[in-house]
Amino acid sequence: MDFSVFFQPAFSGGGIYLDWVFSGIKWTLLVSILAWIIAFTVGSVLGVLRTTHPVALRAPATAYVEVFRNIPLLVQMFIWYFVLPEIVPEGLGNWMKGEMPMPEFWNAVLCLGFYTASRVAEQVRSGIQSIPDGQTYAGLAVGLTRAQVYRHVLLPMGYRIIIPPLTSEFLTIFKNSSVALTIGVLELTAQARQISEYTFRTFEVFTVATVVYVLITLAVTVAMRALENRVRVPGYMGSGGK
């Protein structure tokens, strides 16, 4: 094991190989966090729609979830990057391929975001549906509208209930972001591969990459734990063991 490799001058672009690692971390974080924002927003809307009664609202949300969670992420990445520009109108397609800034990056963000949204949607739905119907009826009985029941009764409880599975999902998005390397985003795994290709120091490079992933996910776990404790409803589920 010889970790001095990270301080050797990099092959291209000036700087040392450690700079490549940091650049990789930057792109991993950017892809993951932006994708998470999309996933959380879109997933929340879809999850709520899946618990509503009108079929016109429920069916499209269900269809979305089934399509996006049943196609492998790797395949979706290729569809966004290689197929989509060919099936949209030619002008838009050419823009996506040529003029669009950082096409690999934005494709990865959108793909990962919309894929994870389908999983978040299921968790939001299960969170809402785990609340006893009695609470909805109670809300309606005191004169709240359906929207108000969601806003003041179901969602505040539902989100609290699903914090643990959402944490897993949030962690997964950091690890799934490595799939972006297949369309050319130089995130952490891609940089690790590249450095090992240039220096042949495979073990050192992937050890560092592994440690970085562990640190990122540990930080997320700690933050989500803190959030969970902060918003906990005293006397309600999940606080029994404390």
Partner 1 sequence: MKPVKVLLAAAAALALAGTAAAQEGTLKKIKDTGVVKIGHRDASIPFSYLDDKQRPIGYGVDICLKIVDAIKAELKMPKLKVEFVPVTSQTRIPILTGGNIDIECGSTTNSVERQKQVAFAPTYFMTGTKIIVKKSSKIKGYDDLKGKTVVFTAGTTNERAMKAYNDEKKLGINFIPSKDHAESFLAVETGRAAAFPMDDILLYSLRASAKKPADYVIVGEFLSDDPYGIMMRKGDEAFKKLVDKTVMGLYKSGQINKIYAKWFQSKIPPKNINLGFPMSAALKELIKNPNDKGVEACGKMKC
The contact set with partner 1 (CB under 8 A) reads 1, 11-13, 82, 85-86, 94, 97-98, 103-104, 181-182, 184, 186, 190, 193-194, 196-197, 200, 202-203, 206-207, 210-211, 214
Residue 166 or residue 185: which is nearer to partner 1 going by CB? 185
- Count of other CB atoms within 10 angstroms of residue 47: 26
Residue 108 or residue 121: which is nearer to partner 1 going by CB? 108
Residue 156 or residue 184: which is nearer to partner 1 going by CB? 184
Q: For 51-177, where are the alpha helices, taking DSSP H only? A: 55-70, 73-78, 84-87, 90-94, 103-129, 133-141, 146-149, 155-161, 163-176
Residue 1 or residue 141: which is nearer to partner 1 going by CB? 1
Residue 140 or residue 220: which is nearer to partner 1 going by CB? 220
Shortest distance in whole angstroms from residue 214 CB to partner 1:
7
Distance CA 216, CA 199 (A): 25
Residue 50 or residue 201: which is nearer to partner 1 going by CB? 201
Shortest distance in whole angstroms from residue 87 CB to partner 1:
12
Q: Which tokens sit at 153?
A: 């009764």
Shortest distance in whole angstroms from residue 226 CB to partner 1:
21
Residue 214 or residue 231: which is nearer to partner 1 going by CB? 214
Q: Which tokens sit at 196?
A: 């090992």
Dihedral Cα 86, 87, 92, 98, nearest 10 deg:
-10
Shortest distance in whole angstroms from residue 123 CB to partner 1:
27
Q: CA-based Rg of the chain, rounded to a whole angstrom?
A: 22
Shortest distance in whole angstroms from residue 165 CB to partner 1:
23
Distance CA 193, CA 171 (A): 22
Shortest distance in whole angstroms from residue 81 CB to partner 1:
8
Q: Which tokens sit at 143?
A: 């004169």
- The burial class, CB within 10 Å (0-12 / 13-18 / 19+), for 235 is exposed
Distance CA 106, CA 175 (A): 17
Shortest distance in whole angstroms from residue 206 CB to partner 1:
7
Element (H, E) at 188: helix 188-199
Q: Which tokens sit at 7?
A: 């301080």
